[in-house]
Amino acid sequence: MPDPVVLKSGAEPWGAKPRRALSRRNIVLYGTLLVAALYYLLPLYVMIVTSLKGMPEIRLGNIFSPPVEITFEPWAKAWATACTGLNCDGLSRGFWNSVRITVPSTLISILVASVNGYALANWRFKGAEVFFTILIVGAFIPYQVMIYPIVIVLREMGIYGTLTGLVIVHTIFGMPILTLLFRNYFASLPEELFKAARIDGAGFWQIYGRIMLPMSMPIFVVAMILQITGIWNDFLFGVVFTRPDTYPMTVQLNNIVNSVQGVKEYNVNMAATLLTGAVPLIVYFVSGRLFVRGIAAGAVKG
């Protein structure tokens, strides 16, 4: 046994083992992360700088160089005056259409799917398994197969081409995956909580509203992110089920970018694309923090 009193900075190991900052492991690790980050950020960078340049500067062809003269005119044009087919009032019309599609679709689909999931997870009614299986199979049927029948159904109901029709379509198509999401989450909550609430005399809606809902904020946030981004980015249903004056933003964007008349205004196209992508982007940034909050903490042992 060596003498226990040794120099703290000496050759004897003492306390935490020192780690070198520039070890081979760190270089590989951070290097890989850096390359991956650059790979994803580069296109975004190109879009941003291009959208801030004027057309003469773009024609020089240096897509990576920062703008010499910063101009916000392409953004203004994309928002307010760019021509999409017959209308020349820019993306603003599509933006408000998209808002009017996304907000009700998201709220209704989440509300219905959460009740579905709760009923399937906690109230094992007769035929629950069959019902669930049918719902899940629905998630695997390709959308294209159902478009024509739905067009006919909406036409017969007299809401083809209206925003209401599109909201209904989005709500229905969100149902399988959202129900699955909620069912699995509610099934993961301790069953004894549900039992305790039943002993306390709470009914179906009371348990849902006062016990389950307050404990389920994380999954509601997840469902909201899924629905907002999914519906906002949707193109197929938007182009099929609406008319030019009810086009969502994505369809308008396509019409701006793919217009074949005149010069290609790359700066306007880039600005329009960034504007369209801004909403999902903001949703990700804002909700990321809510994500991590452990709300069910302390429900059970732990």
Partner 1 sequence: MQHSVSIRDLSLSFGSVSVLKDLNLDIGEGEFLVLLGSSGCGKSTLLNCIAGLLEPTGGQIFIRDRNVTWEEPKDRGIGMVFQSYALYPQMTVEKNLSFGLKVAGMAKAEIDKRVARAAEILQIGPLLKRKPSALSGGQRQRVAIGRALVRDVDVFLFDEPLSNLDAKLRSELRVEIKRLHQSLKNTMIYVTHDQIEALTLADRIAIMKSGVIQQLADPNTIYNMPRNMFVAGFIGSPSMNFLHGEIVERGGRPAFATNGVDFSLDGYAAGEALQPGRKVVLGVRPEHVKVDEDGAEEAHRATVDIEEPMGADNLLWLKHAGHSMSVRVGGARRFAPGTAVRLSFDMGLASLFDAGTEERI
Least distance from partner 1 to the Cβ atom of residue 217, Å: 9
Q: In 3-state terms, what secondary structure has residue 84?
A: strand
* Closer of 48 and 217 to partner 1 (Cβ): 217
* Closer of 190 and 288 to partner 1 (Cβ): 190
Taking CB under 8 A as the criterion, the residue among 197, 219, 251, 272 binding partner 1 is 197
Least distance from partner 1 to the Cβ atom of residue 210, Å: 8
Cβ–Cβ contacts within 10 Å for residue 163, how many?
A: 18
Dist. CA 129–CA 46, nearest whole Å: 50
Taking CB under 8 A as the criterion, the residue among 201, 260, 261, 289 binding partner 1 is 201
Specify the stretch interacting with partner 1 by CB under 8 A; choose among 180-188, 197-205, 234-242, 267-275: 197-205
Q: Say whether residue 298 binds partner 1 (CB under 8 A).
A: yes
Q: Say whether residue 297 binds partner 1 (CB under 8 A).
A: yes
Cβ–Cβ contacts within 10 Å for residue 206, how many?
A: 13
CB-CB contact of 205 with 164 (8 Å): no
Q: What is the DSSP letter of 244?
A: G
Least distance from partner 1 to the Cβ atom of residue 206, Å: 6
* Closer of 157 and 299 to partner 1 (Cβ): 299
Dist. CA 231–CA 102, nearest whole Å: 6
CB-CB contact of 80 with 254 (8 Å): no
CB-CB contact of 105 with 232 (8 Å): no
CB-CB contact of 110 with 224 (8 Å): yes
* Closer of 155 and 195 to partner 1 (Cβ): 195
- Residue 83, sorted as left (phi over 0), alpha (psi -120 to 50) or beta, turns out to be beta
* Closer of 73 and 192 to partner 1 (Cβ): 192
Q: Say whether residue 215 binds partner 1 (CB under 8 A).
A: yes
Q: Say whether residue 293 binds partner 1 (CB under 8 A).
A: no
Dist. CA 157–CA 252, nearest whole Å: 26
Specify the stretch interacting with partner 1 by CB under 8 A; choose among 46-54, 58-66, 77-85, 211-219: 211-219
The residue written with tokens 């024609």 in the block is 59
Dist. CA 279–CA 103, nearest whole Å: 12
Q: Say whether residue 158 binds partner 1 (CB under 8 A).
A: no
Q: Say whether residue 193 binds partner 1 (CB under 8 A).
A: yes
Size of the site for partner 1 (CB under 8 A): 23
Binding site for partner 1 (CB under 8 A): 190, 192-193, 195-202, 206, 210-211, 214-215, 295-301
